[in-house]
Amino acid sequence: MTENPADTAPTGTTGATSEPAAGQTRDLSGARDMIVCEDVSKWYGDFRALDKISATIKEQEVVVVLGPSGSGKSTWIRCINRLEQHQEGRIVVDGVELTNDLRNIEKVRSEVGIVFQQFNLFPHLTVRDNITLAPIWVRKRPRAEADAQAMALLERVGIPEQADKYPGQLSGGQQQRVAIARALAMEPKIMLFDEVTSALDPEMVKEVLDIMKTLALSGMTMMVVTHEMGFAKEVADRVIFMEEGQIVEQNTPELFFSNPTEDRTKLFLSQIL
């Protein structure tokens, strides 16, 4: 519908009546399955953090995961690149099933980028080296090529002048942008974002969200855990609501925000909006 999706303005709270944003106009039914979760369960000791999660995420789809703190959002997202191991069920990422086989894990990890709440940049390396390290040693790229790519990425996230600084010298927003560039340098097919703006000062949230929006528009498959409802309404193709390790409800953003079916979802939305 919209010819230039970037111009679509966030229109505030009335989700259903707002101008449909980029994502919602897309028909993804014919697209490939990128992430398939079937009855995924995970326990920490006796505590069940994930309870039979089933969901399929298509290529180019942008999924926002919502839920109260402790509902298992991070656990789920971290299972997808095996930072946590699930104990039951199946997770298939781009046709590769996650098992204990090391080769599969390394393959999946180099195709799935993740950005953390706490940035987790390597403090002893410059911004440039943070970005080029994995392409050089994991993807086996020549250094010159990796350097050029790093500069292009820094250009894309808007901080090319910071290339030779150390992470400790950057603001939170800049650090998070470097973290996104670092993940993108591996040219992943899927990007996972775990509350990437929660540790940022309010004035830096926008600069990071803007980059994520551009990324979504470029066709990246994304799973985003966030508390930024504006982002969810504007960018998401689908919203998944979790509580106590279960998927309670999932729907398009308009319907999810205007017309939630479950009581728990209503309660959550009433608290957060």
Partner 1 sequence: MSELSSVTGNITIPYTPPPETPKLPPREWVKENLFSSKFNSILTVVSSILLLAIARGLLSFIFNPERQWNATATNLRLLMTQAYPESQYVRIWVCAAILLILTSVSMAIWRTARVVALPDLGRRLLSRGAILALLTLLAPFSGRATLIWLLTAAVVAGVGEGLRRFTNDDQATTTLTLLLVTLSGLVGSLWVVPYGHHSFLMDRTPRVLAEPGTVAMTTKLPWTIMLLIAVAAYFLGGFLRERLPVNATRITVLLLWLMAPPFLLYLVLRDPSFEMGHVFGTDIPIFGVYAVLGSALLLWLSRPSTGEAGRIVAALVLIVGCATFLTPMRMIVRLDMLLLAAFALAAHTFSGGPRAQKRYIFGWLGVLVVMSWMVTAINTPSTVKVPGGFFIGGLSLTLMVAIFTIVISFPLGLALALARTSTMPIFRLLSTWFIEFVRGIPLITILIFFSIMVPLFLPKGMHLSEVTAVVIGYALFSSAYLAENVRGGLQSVDRGQHEAAAAVGMTTAQKTIFIVLPQALRAAIPPLVGHCIGVFKETSLLAIIGLFDILYIARYVMPNQTEFMGSTKENVLFVSAIYWIFTYQMSKASQRLEQRTGLGER
Ligand X SMILES: Nc1ncnc2c1ncn2[C@@H]1O[C@H](COP(=O)(O)OP(=O)(O)O)[C@@H](O)[C@H]1O
Among 39, 97, 106, 262, binds partner 1 (CB under 8 A): 106
Instruction: Measure CA 127 to chain center.
Output: 21
Count, residues near ligand X per rule CB under 6 A: 11
When the beta carbons of 120 and 261 are compared against partner 1, the nearer one is 120
Nearest-CA neighbor of 62 among 230, 193, 195? 193
Least distance (Å) between residue 22 CB and ligand X: 27
Whole-angstrom Cα distance, residue 41 to residue 88? Answer: 5
Binding of residue 134 to partner 1 (CB under 8 A)? yes
Whole-angstrom Cα distance, residue 56 to residue 240? Answer: 11
Among 18, 71, 74, 130, binds Mg ion (CB under 5 A): 74
Question: What is each CA distance from 133 to 119, 141, 207, 269, in whole angstroms?
Answer: 16, 10, 25, 42
Strands 33-44, 96-97: pairing is unpaired
Strands 47-58, 88-93: pairing is unpaired
Placement of tokens 């703006």 in the chain: 197
Among 70, 123, 142, 219, binds ligand X (CB under 6 A): 70
Binding of residue 138 to partner 1 (CB under 8 A)? yes
Among 26, 156, 206, 264, binds partner 1 (CB under 8 A): 206
Placement of tokens 């039914």 in the chain: 29
Least distance (Å) between residue 46 CB and Mg ion: 20
Placement of tokens 């790093």 in the chain: 150
Q: Identity (one letter) of the amino acid at 17?
A: T
Binding site for ligand X (CB under 6 A): 44, 47, 49, 67, 69-75
Binding site for partner 1 (CB under 8 A): 81, 83, 103, 106, 109-110, 112-114, 116, 118, 120-124, 133-134, 136-138, 140, 142, 158-159, 161-162, 168, 171, 173-174, 182-183, 186, 203-204, 206-207, 210
